[in-house]
Amino acid sequence: MEKSHVLLLLVFFFLSLFHGGIARGIKSQGGSEEWGYVQVRPKAHMFWWLYKSPYRVENPSKPWPIILWLQGGPGASGVGIGNFEEIGPLDTNLQPRNSTWLKKADLLFVDNPVGTGYSFVEDAESFVKTDDEAATDLTTLLMELFNRNESLQKSPLYIVAESYGGKFAVTAGLSILKAIEAGKLKLKLGGVALGNSWISPEDFVFSWGPLLKDVSRLDNNGLRESNSLAEKISQQLKDGQYTDATNTWTDLEVVIDDMSNSVDFYNFLLDSGMSPVALEASWFSNGIFAANRYSRYLKKYSRYLSSLRVSPGNDGGDLDSLMNGAIKKKLKIIPANVSWGGQSDSVFQYLAGDFMKPRIAEVDELLSKGVNVTIYNGQLDVICCTKGTQSWVEKLKWDGLKAFLSKERTPLYCNDDGGTKGFIKSYKNLQFYWILGAGHFVPVEQPCVSLNMAGAITQSPAAEAS
Ligand SMILES: *[C@@H]1O[C@H](CO)[C@@H](O)[C@H](O)[C@H]1NC(C)=O
Ligand SMILES: *[C@@H]1O[C@H](CO)[C@@H](O)[C@H](O)[C@H]1NC(C)=O
Ligand SMILES: *[C@@H]1O[C@H](CO)[C@@H](O)[C@H](O)[C@H]1NC(C)=O
Ligand SMILES: *[C@@H]1O[C@H](CO)[C@@H](O)[C@H](O)[C@H]1NC(C)=O
């Protein structure tokens, strides 16, 4: 190929070149990746990254899907964690990931809400304070990407969320439907999937004590202390003291950490101090935790993920250096004074008043509107444990609930060995996957069955292929 040709392909900007000094979009060589910023409000810039699948299958009766991945935290980066640590084409050593969900769908990572990852705000007033504000911003981003693009509009969009991302997913799902109905957004919403999602904080905090006692990480004394703080949270929620409830939640984490000798909140078979996360335990017990609790919580989250990757001969790439080094350089449009993750703590702090609010009613609304809702849960998680998920599911007012609960489960297998990998139960537009042998980060710990699940959720024409 001619040099000039290569250059043209290499980096070409679409839409207007720059917008207030910030480039809006770039396409990679060959066009398989695109990324950019959308200014969702004045001074609020949201970063997105779209991967087109090389495994795309054309099937007239089954459109090729797009997965919009929403990370949790709030403040954890989908562009970083979801992409490089969980389901994207490359891992943190920039080596190909065999189990990438690109095998089933195109992948759209968004650093949501603004302030997360490469997304940024220019003043503190511009952070979101509620899940609904985050949903509005995300809808604005989708309008910008989809409305002018007929090829994107042909693919149904499936929102797949993890952890706090589940609260964003259900509020965004409703906001997206509203925009579609009003004729403001040209997009087909395929469904919403909630992976180990923080849908009902109250149900989770009441589950922690009994779960950890049953698996020997707490005794009756620990159970009593845990339940008494859960009661306090419950009362605070009843009284509308939502920020206080968030603070009591961190107190409860400290108590459980103390009385369980630092169980890992993302996998109860592990210690949080066992892996490269050794510092965590001392932060907790020194009581410094309270001073900067959210930052500690986010670090814990990403360090646990790093620990999963560590295997002999592979010390795992450091995500922070990668995102602020090689990847920032590749992307070219990240402003020099924006560092990946630099505003994450603030994202959490500004959402502290919404953090403990349940979103069960929003799941109900999606179900009653006929949207396909998938819930999946890793068996070994503590923070969004299966026990807590089951208890909020039983609170749904959806008229299919009784029939759903009485249905039999079907076991799941994956071709790598003969063992049971999970179970699925499905009735009308609700599906529940129990994933065995995985904690909070299901695609990392059970890649094979997760990949099949991603294909099934999205009705991918590649679902049957291996
Ligand atoms: C980066 O610098 C520009 C001007 O130099 C400023 O307008 C902008 O707010 C800064 N962004 C951040 C995130 O600090
Ligand atoms: C929109 O569609 C065209 C194809 O018509 C494609 O080349 C372009 O990259 C798309 N834009 C985005 C943001 O995907
Ligand atoms: C919703 O789920 C049903 C049952 O699994 C399936 O037949 C249907 O194709 C799904 N719809 C979409 C848009 O994914
Ligand atoms: C890659 O995935 C395929 C199934 O998609 C599996 O058969 C194969 O063993 C995997 N390879 C590695 C190295 O994990």
Please indicate whether residue 466, judged by its CB atom, sits closer than 6 Å to ligand 4.
yes
In degrees and rounded to multiples of 5, residue 189 shows phi and psi of -85, 115
Q: Comparing 20 with 191, which gets the higher pLDDT?
A: 191
* 288-337 tens-digit pLDDT: 333 345 555 556 655 555 555 444 333 445 888 999 999 999 999 999 99
Cα 277 to Cα 377: distance, rounded to the nearest angstrom: 24
Cα 43 to Cα 124: distance, rounded to the nearest angstrom: 10
What is the pLDDT at residue 302?
Answer: 57
Nearest ligand, CA 24: 2
Q: For the chain, percent helix, then strand, then coil, each to nearest 5?
A: 45, 20, 35
What is the rounded average pLDDT of the residues 51-60? 93
* 342-378 tens-digit pLDDT: 998 899 999 999 999 999 999 999 999 999 999 999 9
Share the mean pLDDT of the chain. Answer: 87
Provide the pLDDT confidence category of residue 168 given band limits of 50, 70 and 90: very high
Nearest ligand, CA 157: 3
pLDDT at residue 20 is higher than 60: no
Q: Comparing 255 with 282, which gets the higher pLDDT?
A: 255
Distance from the alpha carbon of residue 97 to the mean position of ligand 3, in angstroms: 28
Cα–Cα–Cα angle for 114, 177, 204, nearest 5°? Answer: 65
Contact (Cβ atoms closer than 8 angstroms) between residue 455 and residue 412: no
Q: Comparing 465 with 433, which gets the higher pLDDT?
A: 433
Cα 187 to Cα 152: distance, rounded to the nearest angstrom: 8
pLDDT at residue 464 is higher than 70: no
What is the pLDDT at residue 60?
Answer: 86
Radius of gyration of the chain (CA): 21
Instruction: Copy the structure tokens of residue 54.
Output: 């090389």
Please indicate whether residue 152, judged by its CB atom, sits closer than 6 Å to ligand 2.
yes
What is the rounded average pLDDT of the residues 39-44? 97
Q: Among 3.30.70.141, 3.30.565.10, 3.40.50.1820, 3.40.50.150, what is the CATH number of 51-200+355-457?
A: 3.40.50.1820
Q: Whose CA is nearest to atom 8 of ligand 2?
A: 149
* 75-119 tens-digit pLDDT: 999 999 999 999 999 999 999 999 999 999 999 999 999 999 999
pLDDT at residue 12 is higher than 50: no
Ligand 1 pocket, Cβ-based, cut-off 6 angstroms:
120, 122, 335, 337-338
What is the pLDDT at residue 31?
Answer: 83
Cα 457 to Cα 449: distance, rounded to the nearest angstrom: 12
Cα 364 to Cα 170: distance, rounded to the nearest angstrom: 10
What is the pLDDT at residue 310?
Answer: 44
Residue boundaries of the structural domains of the chain: 51-200+355-457, 203-309
